[in-house]
Every structure is written in structure tokens, then in C-alpha cells.
């Protein structure tokens, strides 16, 4: 088939699905629900493809069959045990696999959180005092007051209450800034989709006619 | 037997795997480091299976809806068709350019994903209208900051007031940074203490109902 026609058909499919999703702005309707379920199916399938090739094949099957790394049979078995979750009577067996993943993640997390986040962030808060004064002071006040705002073990009264109030002001400034950024990001995505519908799609149609 | 596999063994597995990860960080021993590296591969494998379990769960629920002709079953059938097409495409043909998996992603999944996200631009506008009515001091601060950041990132803002981009940069680099830092420190401390609770077996909710 002609390349332009194939391109037009592909764009028409993408355009149709785009309009189906935008139809939700009017109200929930069969077109939106169709696109929603196609999206859910494709997204799940996307992860199957990703896991199949990058984990099951690359890290399990190939090392066992080609490199003789038989110790990997054990995580393979733990992985298969996960599926006992689908059988009520045997679902308790999946807890061993879940505990293995959660335990390892917890062990890594303790080091990662303290060594990778808490200490460097505390260090950065103080280290800039040598170069300037007002900027790092604002940051220090912001960090301390934000932490106190989220400290709920004591009632926010007196000095703690005042600091928490200062924290609220800082938090509102930050949330406002993030809101502004999110709006900009979403609007630029919307512009992209509208451009696709009115420029790319129409252009591919014109190419066939001409 | 049920209690051992369902309770004692998972808690023991979580404890030993978590402790091993912590020991690895502090110990300079190469054997320990190699073993923990191997264990990380195991975690990736078991974690990969857990993602597949999620897909298996969606398939099971959708199949049951289709078989019993429950409300909205045709949509579930569509979901299953696209899930199977995408998964089988990836398993049989691979995920490279030009495959069915890639075609489905480029022409259906990617356009739908960006449309879904762009849809939020409309809802964020109505949410902004409700949140930004300057009823309180906090809401006013949020409103002013969001407006400055939005205007400061587009040429129109600079046209209105030349120093708007500079003010936006200051907001992002000082008050916003300090709040992000406070939130990161607080969340990291919370995650570290939760991880410790998991390793010590105090927190067991991840195992599900006992």
C-alpha cells in the first residue's frame, strides 16, 4: 500500500482515539469507554512485553540455559509462588515472595533514604552559608518551618504554632509554583494534541488528495 | 504448616534479606558485596513476576465479566483483545521497531497517553477557579505565586514586567527549594523508620490479612 495512505490511516486511528478521549469533556460515553479499555489493555500488554524481555528472558531464562547460573532457579520459583495469590487456598504461599521483595527493598531503603537524601539535603542547607547569607537563611527557615508544619506529635501552639504558620506560607508558595508548572505542562500537552489534530492529521489527508 | 509459611517464614525472610542489605553497606567484604549484588538481581526477577501477577489478575477479572455477561462486558472483551495482541506480539515477535508491539505503542498507546494527560488541563482550570478564589491569606499566596510562575515562564510575562522571569527563578530557587527540601527530609525519615519497622517484623500489613 502507498506510504502516504498507510500514514493517513495510522494518523486517522490516532486521531479517532484522541477524539474519543476528548469526548469525555462532554460526558462519560461509549466512545470514551472504548478508548479507555483499549488504553488499559495496551498498557498492561506493554508491561508484559517489557517484563518478558528485560526480566524473564534477559535475567532469568538466558542466564540459566546458556550460562548455567542455576542459583537463579530459586528467584524463579519465588516468582512463580507469587501466582498462588490467585488461588485462595494457597495464597499464603505468596507471602514468602512478597516478604523477600519487601525485606530487600526495606534494607536498601534505610541506607538510601538516610545516606542519599537526609544527609546530603541537610549538608546542602548549611553549606551555602559560606558564599552568601540571605538566600541560605531563607532556605534554612523554609526547611525548618516545613518540617515543623508536618510534625504532628505535639499540638501547634506557642513557638511551634508560629513556626508552623511560617511553614504554611512557604508551603503555599511552593504549591503555587508547582501548580503553575503543572498547568504549563498540561497546556503544552494539549497544544500538542490540538496541533496533531489540526495540522498533522489534516496535512496527511491533503497529501493523499494531492 | 500454614502458620509457618504464612507468618513466621515471611517475617524471617524479610528480616534476613533486609539486614543483609544493611550489612553490605557497612562491610567492605567482597563476598558479602557479591552476594547482595546477586540478591538484587533476584529481587528484580521476583518483582517482575509481581507485575505479571497484576496483569494475570486483570485478565482473570475481565474474563469472568465476559463469561458471565456482566454489565459493560463488551469493553472488557476489547481490553482482553488488546492485552493479548500486545503481549503475544511482544513475546513472539519482540519489541523492536517495526513490530506489532511497537506499532500498537506508537499509533495507539502513546497518542492516548498524552491525550489523557492533556485532558487534565481542562480539569485543572476548573479546580483552579475553585481553589484560587482569594478567600484566605494562604489561598491568596498560592494564587499570586502560581500566576507569577505561569507568567514568568512565557514571553508575555516578560512583556508585562521585565523582571518577572527573575522573580520566578528566585521563587523556584529559594522558597520552593526550601519546602521541597523539608518534604524530602521528612519523607526520607518516614521511609527509613517504616523500613526499620518492616525489617524488625513490627510492620506486617504488607503480608495481607493474617
pLDDT in tens, B63-94: 999 999 999 999 999 999 999 999 999 999 98
Over residues B151-166, mean pLDDT:
90
pLDDT band with cut points at 50, 70 and 90 for residue B209 = low
B89 interaction partners in chain A (CB closer than 8 Å): 45, 49
Closest residue in A to B54 (Cα–Cα): A44
Any B CB within 8 A of A67 CB: no
Residue B12 CA: distances (Å) to CA of A158, B21, B33, B198:
46, 14, 21, 11
Q: Residue A48 and residue B52: Cβ atoms within 8 Å?
A: yes
Segment 79-98 of chain A within 8 Å of chain B by CB: 79-80, 82-83, 85-86, 91-93, 95-98
Q: Residue B188 and residue A40: Cβ atoms within 8 Å?
A: no
Residue A3 has a pLDDT of: 83
- Asked whether the ipTM of the predicted complex exceeds the cut of 0.95, the reply is no
Any B CB within 8 A of A129 CB: no
Residue B125 has a pLDDT of: 78
Which of B2, B81, B188 is the closest to A117 by Cβ? B188
A115 interaction partners in chain B (CB closer than 8 Å): 25
The residues, ordered by sequence, that sit 6+ positions from B166 with a Cβ below 8 Å of its Cβ are none
Q: Residue B89 and residue A71: Cβ atoms within 8 Å?
A: no
Is B132 strand, coil or helix? coil
Q: Residue A55 and residue B112: Cβ atoms within 8 Å?
A: no
Encode A156-182: b = buried (16+ Cβ within 10 Å), e = exposed: beeeeeebbebbbbbbbbbbbbbbbbe
The grid coordinates listed for B98 are 517495526
Do A60 and A76 contact (CB within 8 A), yes or no? yes
Q: Residue A104 and residue B48: Cβ atoms within 8 Å?
A: no
pLDDT of residue B210 exceeding 60, the answer is no
Is B185 strand, coil or helix? helix
Residue extents of the structural domains in chain A: 132-210
Which of A92, A97, A189 is the closest to B118 by Cβ? A189
Crossing angle for the helix pair A94-111 and B175-199, to the nearest 10 degrees: 130
Any A CB within 8 A of B200 CB: no
Q: Closest Cα of chain B to A206: distance in Å?
A: 20
More confident residue, B135 or B86: B86
Any A CB within 8 A of B2 CB: yes
Q: Residue B118 and residue A111: Cβ atoms within 8 Å?
A: no
CB-defined contacts A:B, below 8 A:
393
What mean pLDDT, rounded, does chain B reach?
90
Residue B1 has a pLDDT of: 62
**Cα-based angle A197, A203, A204 (whole degrees, multiple of 5):** 95
**pLDDT truncated to tens, each residue of chain A (210 aa)?**
678 888 899 999 999 999 999 999 999 999 999 999 999 999 999 999 999 999 999 999 999 999 999 999 999 999 999 999 999 888 888 999 999 999 999 999 999 999 989 999 999 888 888 788 888 999 999 999 999 999 998 898 999 999 999 999 999 999 999 998 888 888 888 999 999 999 999 888 888 887
Residue B134 has a pLDDT of: 65
Q: Closest Cα of chain A to B3: distance in Å?
A: 9
Do A163 and B94 contact (CB within 8 A), yes or no? no
Question: Which of A64-73, A104-113, B24-33, B98-107 is predicted least confidently?
Answer: B24-33
Indicate the length of chain A as a whole number.
Answer: 210
Residue A178 has a pLDDT of: 92
* Residues A68-94 pLDDT 10s: 999 999 999 999 999 999 998 888 889
Amino acid at each position: 500500500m502507498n506510504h502516504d495512505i498507510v500514514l493517513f490511516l495510522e494518523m486517522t486511528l490516532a486521531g479517532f482515539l484522541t477524539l474519543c478521549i476528548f469526548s469525555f469533556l462532554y460526558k462519560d460515553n461509549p466512545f470514551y469507554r472504548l478508548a479507555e479499555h483499549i488504553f488499559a489493555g495496551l498498557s498492561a500488554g506493554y508491561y508484559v512485553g517489557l517484563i518478558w524481555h528485560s526480566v524473564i528472558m534477559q535475567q532469568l531464562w538466558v542466564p540459566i540455559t546458556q550460562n548455567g547460573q542455576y542459583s537463579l532457579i530459586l528467584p524463579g520459583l519465588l516468582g512463580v509462588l507469587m501466582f498462588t495469590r490467585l488461588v485462595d487456598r494457597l495464597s499464603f504461599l505468596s507471602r514468602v515472595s512478597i516478604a523477600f521483595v519487601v525485606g530487600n527493598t526495606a534494607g536498601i531503603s534505610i541506607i538510601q533514604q538516610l545516606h542519599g537524601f537526609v544527609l546530603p539535603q541537610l549538608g546542602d542547607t548549611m553549606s551555602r552559608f559560606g558564599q552568601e547569607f540571605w538566600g541560605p537563611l531563607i532556605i534554612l527557615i523554609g526547611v525548618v518551618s516545613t518540617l515543623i508544619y508536618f510534625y504532628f506529635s505535639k499540638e501547634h501552639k506557642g513557638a511551634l504554632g508560629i513556626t508552623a504558620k511560617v511553614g504554611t506560607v512557604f508551603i503555599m508558595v511552593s504549591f503555587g509554583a508547582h501548580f503553575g508548572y503543572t498547568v504549563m505542562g498540561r497546556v503544552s500537552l494539549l497544544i500538542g494534541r490540538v496541533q496533531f489534530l489540526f495540522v498533522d492529521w489534516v496535512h496527511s489527508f491533503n497529501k493523499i488528495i494531492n | 504448616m500454614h502458620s509457618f509459611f504464612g507468618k513466621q517464614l515471611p517475617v524471617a525472610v524479610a528480616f534476613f534479606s533486609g539486614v543483609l542489605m544493611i550489612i553490605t553497606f557497612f562491610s567492605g567484604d567482597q563476598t558479602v558485596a557479591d552476594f547482595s549484588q546477586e540478591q538484587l538481581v533476584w529481587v528484580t526477577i521476583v518483582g517482575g513476576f509481581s507485575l505479571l501477577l497484576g496483569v494475570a489478575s486483570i485478565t482473570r477479572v475481565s474474563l469472568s465479566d465476559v463469561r458471565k455477561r456482566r454489565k459493560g462486558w463488551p469493553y472488557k472483551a476489547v481490553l482482553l483483545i488488546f492485552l493479548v495482541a500486545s503481549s503475544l506480539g511482544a513475546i513472539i515477535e519482540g519489541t523492536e521497531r517495526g513490530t506489532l508491539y511497537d506499532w500498537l505503542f506508537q499509533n495507539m498507546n502513546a497518542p492516548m497517553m498524552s491525550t489523557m494527560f492533556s485532558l487534565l488541563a481542562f480539569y485543572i482550570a476548573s479546580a483552579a477557579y475553585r481553589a484560587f478564589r482569594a478567600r484566605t491569606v494562604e489561598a491568596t499566596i498560592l494564587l499570586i505565586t502560581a500566576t507569577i510562575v505561569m507568567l514568568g515562564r512565557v514571553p508575555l510575562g516578560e512583556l508585562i514586567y521585565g523582571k518577572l522571569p527573575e522573580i520566578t527563578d528566585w521563587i523556584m530557587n529559594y522558597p520552593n527549594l526550601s519546602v521541597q527540601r523539608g518534604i524530602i527530609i521528612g519523607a526520607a525519615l518516614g521511609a527509613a523508620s517504616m523500613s526499620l519497622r518492616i525489617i524488625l517484623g513490627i510492620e506486617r500489613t504488607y503480608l495481607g490479612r493474617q
